[in-house]
Amino acid sequence: MSRRLKMAVITAIESLHRSGYSNRRIAETLGVHRDTVAKYVAQFQNRPNAPTGSPDAEPRASPGPESLCRPFQELIVAKLEQGLSAQRIYQDLVEDHEFPGKYPSVRRYVASLATSSGPVRRMETAAGQEAQVDFGVGAPIRQPDGKRRRTWVFRIVLSYSRKAYSEVVYRQTTEAFIGALENSFRHFGGVPKTLVIDNLKAAVRRGDWYDPKLMSFARHYGTAFLPTKPYTLEHKGKVEAGVKYVKNNALKGRQFDSLPQQNDFLLDWETRVADTRIHGTTKQQVQRRFEQERDVLLPLPVDSFPCFEEQQRTVHRDGHVEVAKAYYSTPPEYIGRRLWVRWDSRTVRIFNRRWEQVALHARAEPGQFRTAPGHIPTKRRSSVELGVRQLLARVRVLGDHAGDWGEAVVNARGVEALRVLIGLRALASRHSSAAIDEACRQALTYGVYRLKTIRALLKRPAPEQQQLEFLEEHPIIRPLSDYSLDSLYDLGKERL
């Protein structure tokens, strides 16, 4: 029993046949046997012509009973225009209209609508206007253990000149996609105004074609991403053919020992083979046509795009979020909430739900904390974090003598005074402010600046140090005249 081609391949055969491709060229382009192409072309020619020029064109008649989807044709067409897939359309028909058929019937009917939309218009763009991007399967890499690892070949084609760039990666990640795009821009020496992309794993993550990283990348280079619609392979036919070209001409039947080896081979192949060929559509050499396009490409920016990661994070009870095993503070009002975090190799930026930046930190090593002073609630700040000036202000609340004693401690003991001031404030939990202020007054009279002295005075107040008055006259005090030189000389003579 012969294998039936996928509907996408059958559609492509009919589209190419309508565009004037020969059976041989269709077979070479799609990798299908010429006899198979001839069989399907004969079926197309035997079908009655469907009306064209209207989005409501009916699908072509097929042998067998009428499709169960026929009563829902207008609804199906409307959902296709919204960009819904055949699977989603089938689910909606079952849930909302009690559709009696199965999913394959909806899939076939959607494919028949696609093939009945009339001839395909070839779109040619101006120089520097557009490039098309896609991924294909690359040549395998031989591992040291003898196993082969699959690769993906990134391919970008300038729509005007057909100048292309190819790069092989292990995974279709966003980082690999952006890195390959940047390398292609440097290879071209400029940036096209638009980039047509398919539903790539790396490029499209959501149904609305929105990815902050890709949008930031586009703004950085001054370009724009234009996603294709579902079931419209012809919207990026240049790169579809380009991927097949690099797979069949450059990589088919080859193996490599590493990614750099395969990429070096591809770069040489692009220059030596792909750029020197006469393109089948433009009828010009690719390199010469590219020389006309190079000068109209957008200029490259000075710096490369800072590729970043972006995810949602929940703020922990300590007011920090975790990023790559390091911790970064947020304002205290966001504790327990979900925030967006964007980080690269140098910085970590934190955004709220309205994409307003609420924190900015330098990257930290795993296990380290980055805490901004303004993110610590006042009641949660330790006395050490407050500093000497703040502590002196709090100590003076106990009394003027306590404040004077605290300043004397700072002047006498320097950095060590910090612990003394913290201890003095702690005494307020067991003693009254008046008692502490009196103890500090007494300590000042003795010139003692140790906390244990304050504790002792609080337990047993010491007598105040008495200041003795200076006496100028007293029976045992000699007058100053007795200490003159003449008096001392006379005294010496008497003793002799």
Position 16, amino acid: L
% residues pLDDT > 90 (the chain): 13
Determine the pLDDT at residue 78: 78
- Identify the DSSP state of 3: P
Paired tokens of 54? 């209207």
Tokens of 175: 């980082």
| Run of H or E including 182 | helix 174-188
Q: What is the mean pLDDT of residues 91-120?
A: 77
> Which residue do the tokens 């821009």 mark?
185
254-275 pLDDT, tens per residue? 889 998 999 999 999 999 998 9
Query: Which among 23, 30, 18, 6 has a CA at the least distance from the CA of 237?
Result: 30
Closest to 6 (Cα-Cα) out of 38, 31, 34: 31
Asked whether residue 57 carries a pLDDT value surpassing 50, the answer given is no
**What pLDDT does residue 350 have?**
92
- Whether the predicted model's global pTM rises above the 0.75 cut: no
- pLDDT digit string (tens) for 16-32? 676 667 888 778 777 78
Judge contact between 354 and 361, C-beta under 8 A: no
**C-alpha span between 48 and 370 (Å, rounded):** 72
Q: Look at 393 and 50; give whichever has higher pLDDT.
A: 393
* Environment class of 149 (CB within 10 Å of its CB; exposed 0-12, middle 13-18, buried 19+): exposed
Ordered DSSP codes for 348-361: EEEE-TT--EEEEE
Query: What is the C-alpha to C-alpha distance for residues 253 and 298, in angstroms, rounded to an integer?
Result: 37
CA distances from 370 to 65, 286, 332, 333, 386 (A): 70, 53, 14, 18, 18
**pLDDT 10s digits, 195-205:** 888 655 555 44
Q: Which residue is it, tokens 């401690």?
A: 409
pLDDT value, residue 267: 92
Least confident of 3-12, 69-78, 265-274: 3-12
pLDDT at 280: 80
Q: Is the pLDDT of residue 286 over 60?
A: yes
Which pLDDT band, with edges at 50, 70 and 90, does 468 fall under?
low
- Per-residue pLDDT of 355-364, as tens digits, reads 889 999 988 8
Output the average pLDDT for the chain.
78
- Any residues with CB less than 8 A from the CB of 441 and at least 6 apart, and which? 401, 405
CB 156 within 8 A of CB 165: yes
Residue 320 region, left (φ>0) first, then alpha (ψ -120 to 50), else beta? beta
Confidence grade of residue 206 (pLDDT, cut at 50, 70, 90): very low
Q: For residues 226 and 196, is the Cβ–Cβ distance under 8 A?
A: yes
